[in-house]
Every structure is written in C-alpha cells, then in structure tokens.
Structure 1
Amino acid sequence: MHRIGFKRCEADHCCYVKSFNNSYIILLLYVDDMLIVGFDIEKINNLKKQLSKQFAMKDLGAAKQILGMRIIRDKTNGTLKLSQSEYVKKVLSRLDIAHAVGVVIRFMSASLKLQGYVDVDFAGDIDSRKSTIGFVFTLGGTTISWASNLQKIVTLSTTEAEYVAATEVGKEMIWLHGFLDELGKKQEMDILHSDSQSAIFLAKNSTFHSKSKHIQTKYYFIRYLVEDKLVILEKICGSKNPADMLTKGVTIEKLKLCVASIGLLA
C-alpha cells in the first residue's frame, strides 16, 4: 500500500488513506474483506486494477454488506444507511446464548462535528455494586462509536461514578480525534456531554477537596483534558441524554428519543 501512495493510519492500522488535490481514497481491511471509499470512481477503479495485479481478489462492485451490516443507498435523497437487522435476528434466535441475551436486554431495551455523550447508572449491578457506563459518539449527527460496560471499580457516589466515566470516555474521544485528523477531518475542541453538573464541576476545579481525595490519580485525566482545552465538558439535561439508554432499561418513549437524537432509525 505504501508503494502506491497510501499512508496507514496510526489510530487504526486497518485503515489506509491516499490524498489528492481535491479528494481522497480510504481503504479499510479486515481479514480478507476490503472496503474502498472515495469521491472519484475513476481513481477507485484504478486502485482496484493495481491491487488485482498484486493479489487474487474478487470485485463485488458497490458495497452492499460489510461485517454483517447491510449498506442501503438512496442516491435520490443522497443518504446512506447501515442496517444490522439480520444480525440481530440471528443473535436473538440462538438458544446457546439465551442467558447472555437476557443479561444484555437489561441494559438495552450537518457539519462533521464530533460530539460525545456519557452517562452512568450508579451501583446498578446488584452483585458487584459497580456502575454501568454508557457512551455514544456522533459525527455530523451519525453514530460512529458506542459502548455499555461495567466500571472497573466500585465508586462511592453518583458524582464519583460520573467523573470516572468521563475519564474513560475522554480516552475514547482523544483516539477518535486523532483518527479523524488522519482522515483529513480535523476537529477543533471536542464536546463531551454529561448530565452530572457536580462531575463537570469536579473536572473543572483543581482545588483539593476531602470528598474526592480518595479517587485514583489516573481518573484525573479528564481534568487534564479540560484544562488543556482538548475537551469541553457541557451539561445536558438527563431526559435528553442519549447515553442513558446504554446504562439501564428505559421506556419506549425515552428509547425513541435517544435513538432519534443520534441518527439511528428504529
């Protein structure tokens, strides 16, 4: 790839980029699957010819499916949608993971601006009393990264749980920032939304406080990000925070609101 002018992204070694005067080509590799994205179809065809001379490959034409996701194009409206409906059906119909599905169900019932949302269900796990972190990132209103998992430590308050979550999610935001930079979509200051005013205050206030002195040093990383203006922490109303659906079961109305706010279609 380097011989034909592509540069491998440091943020993701499966991604290669080649820039031109007014366009670029992105090539993604995953085992024996390849996805090519670009503005100029002639340049894409030339790339495929070059690669076919070096490797035995089968050209499947315009991408219709990748990694279990269907790609749905609407050229009339200029939209592109990703669907995992078939994958979801397969997962929900597998008897051998019925218990795992039951556990999961407990937690899941524009300009190219990077936006992050984080939320925590304090001490929600009845066995360990650990809190569940949920986060989602959007770019231009479209979801690009998300997760729902237990925190690694037991926290003593909602504020501490939200503060620790902000640090964990801040690391993901820095990685996304660097990845987008390599793709030519340089971001200014990234915005991370939290519905905890007290956690935001703690991240912005470097004064020693007896109630937070026990928090492990590594979780003060979010304070560094805020002080260096790498991340802006902003308050969002809890009822409008889409990350809420990744921390616990929510009502149908709340789920629809969360889904719509991050560019997903039910």
Structure 2
Amino acid sequence: TFSNWQAVKRIFRYLKGSANVGIVYKPKYKAGELEAYSDADFAGDHKTRLSRSGAVCKYAGGAITWASRKQRSVALSTTESEYIAASECVKEIVWLKELLSEIIELQGVPCLQIDNASAVKLVKNPEFHKRTKHVDIRYHFIRQKYEDGEITVRHVEGEHQLADILTKALPRPRFEDLRMRLGVLPVQGVTKVLGGSVENMTKHS
C-alpha cells in the first residue's frame, strides 16, 4: 500500500543519514553501573488496542540491549501497561547480570527507571493491589526480584525516560536527543575526541 511504501522510504532515508553513526562506550566508565529503563505506549495499536513495551539497558555509557514489542494481552490502564513493560525488562536485567558477571565484576544493584509513579508503587507494594488482580501472574516476577534485592526501582521524569524512543514515533529533536543519550553518536566525532582515526588504527594494527 501507499502508506507501507512511505514507511519503507522513511527507513531508507534514516539508514542513509545514519551511516556514520554507532554506539560508543566509554573506556573509563565507572565499573558496575548497569542502568535500565522501561516504558509503554498504552493501547498504541488502534486496531487491537494492545500496548507496546520498550526497554533498554545501558553500560559504560552506551546501550547494550534493547527491545520493542507488543504486549501479549490488552492492558486496562496506563499503570498496568507500564507494570507489564517493567516486568519484561527485569527478565532482561537478570539475564544481563549473569552474562556480565562472567566477564567483569559488577558492583551495586541494577536500577530500573520507570516514568509512571503508580507502576513504581505497585512494584514496591508487598500486597497485590486491586488493579493488578487480573494481571497474569508471570508479570509479578518483577516484585519478587525487587523483594529479593536483585534490582532497585525508581521513578524518572518523562523527559529522562530513554525507553520512550522504543515505544512510538517521536519528533526529530526528541528522537535525536534520546539517541545521543543512549550512546549512539557520530563515529567521526568520537575518533577526533579519542585523538585518532579508524584509518590510523588500521595502519598500526
């Protein structure tokens, strides 16, 4: 269809404009700091009314894993959709902790940042809230990990929610700001900062 073709052309334009962009990690980044963000676009699919979850984990200043997917069931509130997205993100955090611990020495407890205050309260509440009685039990996995001390959870203002980029289309200024904060930077600028270039590195390798 015409709309699909327009979407394809938009993807091509983005790929052309981002050919010299890559994820940059800071070599002197403080060890052990694993950051995670989760977000949801409530009922974003106008046909199915399914919400979309977005999650991203950062280490050494750059994104190391990210995901954007439709939720399996229809959420009845913004809080519920955010809670489900957070639970899905925690599964990724647990997996990452196991993987990274084989490579480096992790310090501290991973912090999951959510921009919905009610969802944060639901995670920290030791008793099931009325509004989550109907939520599939698998999504309460997050509460177990919080109570076990394997993760911490805190509220973050919407403007600082990095996972927002994975839930819906954004205005260009907002998109580029979040992309930069995820460590996705022009490679040419990075090589200048590091005092070298890809060409020089190749010659001396």
Q: 2:89 maps to what in 1?
A: 169
Percent of aligned pairs with the same amino acid: 38
Q: Is the 8 A contact 1:180 1:187 kept in 2?
A: no
Aligned ranges 1:55-74 → 2 under 5 Å: none
How many residues get paired?
Answer: 166
Q: 2:145 aligns with which of 225, 232, 236?
A: 225
Deviation, structure 1 residue 197: 0.7
CA distance in 2: counterparts of 1:222 and 1:144, whole angstroms: 21
Is the 1:137–1:145 Cα contact (8 Å) retained in structure 2? yes
What's the TM-score, normalizing by structure 2?
Answer: 0.75
For the pair 1:178 / 2:98, whether they are aligned, the reply is: yes
Residue 127 (str. 1) matches residue 47 (str. 2): yes
Could you say which structure has the higher strand fraction?
1
**TM-score (structure 1 length as normaliser):** 0.58
CA distance in 2: counterparts of 1:222 and 1:104, whole angstroms: 35
Q: For residue 106 of structure 2, what is the amino acid of its counterpart?
A: K
Does the alignment pair 1:111 with 2:30? yes
Shift of residue 134 of structure 1? Answer: 1.0
Query: CA-atom RMSD, angstroms?
Result: 2.1
For residues 9 and 94 of structure 2, the distance between their equivalents in structure 1, rounded to whole angstroms, comes to 33
Cα distance change, pair 200–263 in 1 and its aligned pair in 2 (3 A): same
Which residue number in structure 2 is paired with residue 207 of structure 1?
A: 127
Amino acid at match of 2:78: T
The Cα shift of 1:101 comes to 3.9
Q: Which has the larger radius of gyration?
A: 1
Query: By percentage of residues, which structure has more helix?
Result: 2
Partner of 1:195: 115
Higher relative contact order (CA 8 A, sep 6+): 2
State the shift of 1:103 in Å.
Answer: 10
2:61 is aligned, of 130, 137, 141, to: 141
Matched residue type, 1:136: V
Question: Residue deviations 1:88-123, cap 9 Å, x none?
Answer: xxxxxxxxx958747989xxxx21311011110000
Q: Deviations over 1:130-151 (max 9, x none)?
A: 1111111110111110111111
Report the equivalent of 2:15: none
Contact 1:181 1:187 in 2 (8 A): no
Structure 1: segments with no counterpart, 5+ residues: 1-96
The DSSP-based 3-state class of the residue aligned with 1:214 is coil
Task: Please give the alpha-carbon distance, in whole angstroms, between the structure 2 residues aligned to 1:229 and 1:237.
Answer: 23
* In structure 1, distance between residues paired with 2:8 and 2:53: 19
Distance 1:223-1:197 versus aligned 2 partners, 3 A rule: same
Q: Structure 2: state its 5+ residue gaps.
A: 13-28, 187-205
3-state SS of the aligned residue for 1:211?
helix
For 1:111, give the aligned amino acid: K
